[in-house]
Amino acid sequence: MNTILLSDEQVAAYLRDLLERLSALGEAYPRVWCPIGPSGGRVAQAAMREVGRSASDIQHVPVAFERATGVVSFPRDPHPEDTVKGKNVLLIDGAIHSGNTFAKVYRAVEALGVAEICSYSLVVRRGATALPSFFGLAIGDHDRALFLKRRFPNNRLSNFGWVRKLAEEDDTRPMIKCGEDFIDKFSWGDLLYEMRVDQRRRTYLYERKGDAHGFVSFRLTPGETILVDAGCRQDIPAAGGGGALDALGRDLRAQRALRRDRAVGRR
């Protein structure tokens, strides 16, 4: 996973290019913009700073997308068709990940009777199912791009302790007991043996103050999907961050794209 950082100046440079390309459209220049979600709003804000005095000529109809329900709405305007009907519209987003939100918003705006839609996203993930007419940066499926933010999030494992790969010297360490027969019958030696005979097998343990408090054992497929075979933790009230599995789960996510739907979990 790579993290790509875009400075405000780099974002502005992409936007200046976009504005030039829109200006080249002449009469077709979209004077109604529909920023999609907060990240689209931030990009539209940055674009307005580049537009300068002509910003007052552009109308913005913000578009919201409720992720849980998949509903598209226009929070500023109960009748957005009054503003957009028959006009050329620019859909503007910060990042397109799956393409799902973009596709739903595109169809919803199209249904309002607009003349033409052009679209822009500062960042597009390569595996996205929908692509805008203009975009700035293409990133890999497991990459993330950070831009126009006051702070960048660090990866976090847990407040205390550390996560490490199981090593030979752990063979003599007392095994964690979690009360689950399937797991309690393992020894560290079993897990070490499996790592030795299967190069794609990994076991990581969470250790604090010299004691093991949790582990996760998994296999990486050639496609780098993680198949979790076993995992348990012992609760550590003072550790914070939800304990060892929290730490282990984050550690895995930081290294690979954890395909949770392939993990054997219950929820």
Helices (H) then strands (E): counts for the chain: 7, 13
What is the distance of C-alpha 65 from the center of its chain? 16
Angle between helices 37-51 and 8-23 (to 10 degrees): 70
CA distance 7 to 9: 5
Give the list of residues 6+ apart from residue 253 with CB closer than 8 angstroms, or none.
none
| 119 close to 92: Cβ distance less than 8 angstroms | yes
Taking CB under 8 A as the rule, does residue 142 contact other proteins?
A: no
Taking CB under 8 A as the rule, does residue 42 contact other proteins?
A: yes
Nearer to other proteins, 45 or 133 (CB): 45
Taking CB under 8 A as the rule, does residue 30 contact other proteins?
A: no
Taking CB under 8 A as the rule, does residue 243 contact other proteins?
A: yes
DSSP state of 196: H
Taking CB under 8 A as the rule, does residue 99 contact other proteins?
A: no
CA distance 73 to 60: 14
Contact pattern for other proteins over residues 56 through 95, marking x by CB under 8 A: xxxxxxxxx-xxx----x-xxx--x--x-----------x
| 203 close to 195: Cβ distance less than 8 angstroms | yes
Taking CB under 8 A as the rule, does residue 241 contact other proteins?
A: yes
Give the list of residues 6+ apart from residue 260 with CB closer than 8 angstroms, or none.
none
Taking CB under 8 A as the rule, does residue 246 contact other proteins?
A: yes
Tell me the window of 18-26, 39-47, 130-138, 162-170 that interacts with other proteins (CB under 8 A): 39-47
Tell me the window of 13-21, 126-134, 159-167, 241-249 that interacts with other proteins (CB under 8 A): 241-249
Taking CB under 8 A as the rule, does residue 7 contact other proteins?
A: no
Tell me the window of 5-13, 19-27, 161-169, 179-187 that interacts with other proteins (CB under 8 A): 179-187
The correct pick among 164, 242, 254, 262 for binding other proteins (CB under 8 A) is 242
Taking CB under 8 A as the rule, does residue 225 contact other proteins?
A: no
Q: Which neighbouring-strand residues pair with 218?
A: 202, 228
Taking CB under 8 A as the rule, does residue 137 contact other proteins?
A: no
Nearer to other proteins, 149 or 200 (CB): 149
Taking CB under 8 A as the rule, does residue 121 contact other proteins?
A: no
Contact pattern for other proteins over residues 181 through 210, marking x by CB under 8 A: -xx--x--xx--xx----------------
Q: How many alpha carbons lie under 13 Å from residue 72 in its C-beta half-sphere?
A: 20
Nearest distance, CB of residue 194 and other proteins, angstroms: 8
Nearest distance, CB of residue 73 and other proteins, angstroms: 7
Residues that bind other proteins (rule: CB under 8 A) add up to a total of: 71
Give the list of residues 6+ apart from residue 65 with CB closer than 8 angstroms, or none.
36, 37, 71, 72, 73, 101, 104, 105
Nearest distance, CB of residue 60 and other proteins, angstroms: 4
CA distance 253 to 261: 13
